[in-house]
Amino acid sequence: MEISVNRKIAVFVPSMNGGGVQRAILNMVNEFVKRDFSVDLILATYEGPYLKKLDPRVRIVNLEKKRVITCLPQLIRYLKRVRPHSLLSAMEHANIIALWARALAGVNTRIVISNHANLTEGLLRNESAFNKLFIYLIRMFYRKANAIVAVSKGGADDVANVARLPRERINVIYNPLLTEEFYIQSSQSLNHSWFSEGAVPVVLAVGRLAKVKDYPTLIKAFSLVRSNIPSRLMILGEGEERHSLEMLVEQLGLQQDVLMPGFVTNPFVYMGKAAVFVLSSLTEGFGNVLVEAMACGTPVISTDCPTGPREILTDDGILVPVGNEEALAEEIIRVLNGTSKLNLPLDRLKRFNIDEIVDRYLDLMFLK
């Protein structure tokens, strides 16, 4: 791939809070600078645990705004002043503002937008006035992007449907999850009593404590599991649903066997020690944690939610209906009892390696 003289890349995200989108962006910007690109990471708000993991060569542009929409004037000025060759944005609100800013700045910066969420579930099924306006903006502005990326085939179908664009306009590029740093972190030692030799098996989940993750179904399923086999449940992540989840744990009398220690910077070492990894979501943009758990050699169970898990797992994991605690419990018990034989061919994980994925992004960002 031939790169033009202007090797300036800008990346625009709301923050570097501890979500799957931010981890994908972290991996990409660090890889960009390793390849000798000049990278500006533009943040609405300078916050998030991934900030300290950024390569020091990444220049941070802090717009100091709490809401993405209020970043528009400063992003316009940035584009006029810096004129990066390409700007990559992630998350739907940032995508709209990036496209709007380019149009108002009157520059020829190439805009690549990436979509990580399921728009149908997040917008179309909740017809609030704001969502109707946002859908209108997606349909007006997404078509103006130089390239559109979805992180799964199902996600690409979803974007094409909501944005009313031809499916061939949507590029499918998986998230860059498997990096050298990932394998270093996953191989570290873990000093936690729950994972000591001879301890009962641990069921693990990783993700924001948010409604979309449907942890109540997982907790209820675990209650059924624990009544059949000694086990523990650990959920890594933080979010607005913590209080209600803690109340549910107490109602079910699971306080001694359910632990929610909050966000951890290295969830991979926990994945490698868990007996089984579970994703219980109502919907996903992709399902990064499934790939990461598989790469740690851990059996995975996921709800068959839109979009991502079915595409990731195929024959390599177990899919259960969304919101079905009995089915989820049954599969967890089968794994813990050793009666579920899962096939985890590591060669299938190559499609999530960072090198090939960053190559594909650069192709879109520097397309002649």
Q: Where are the chain's structural domains?
A: 8-176+353-365, 181-351
Q: Please report the DSSP string for 302-340 in residue order.
A: EE--SSSHHHHHTTSSEEE-TT-HHHHHHHHHHHHHT--
Residue 70 near residue 93 (C-beta atoms within 8 A): no
Q: Which CATH class is domain 8-176+353-365?
A: alpha beta
Same fold for the pair 8-176+353-365 and 181-351: yes
Q: Are 208 and 235 in contact (CB under 8 A)?
A: no
pTM for this entry: 0.86
CATH level 3 topology of 181-351: Rossmann fold (3.40.50)
Q: What distance in Å separates the CA atoms of residue 289 and residue 71, rounded to the nearest whole number?
A: 30
Tens of each residue's pLDDT in the chain, 368 residues = 455 557 899 999 999 987 889 989 999 999 999 999 999 999 999 999 999 999 999 999 999 999 999 999 999 999 999 999 999 999 889 999 999 999 999 999 999 999 988 887 767 666 677 888 888 999 999 999 999 999 999 899 999 999 999 999 999 999 999 999 999 999 999 999 999 989 999 999 999 999 999 999 999 999 999 999 999 999 999 999 999 999 999 999 999 999 999 999 899 999 999 999 999 999 988 889 999 999 999 999 999 998 889 988 876 678 999 999 999 999 999 999 987 656 556 677 888 999 999 999 999 999 75
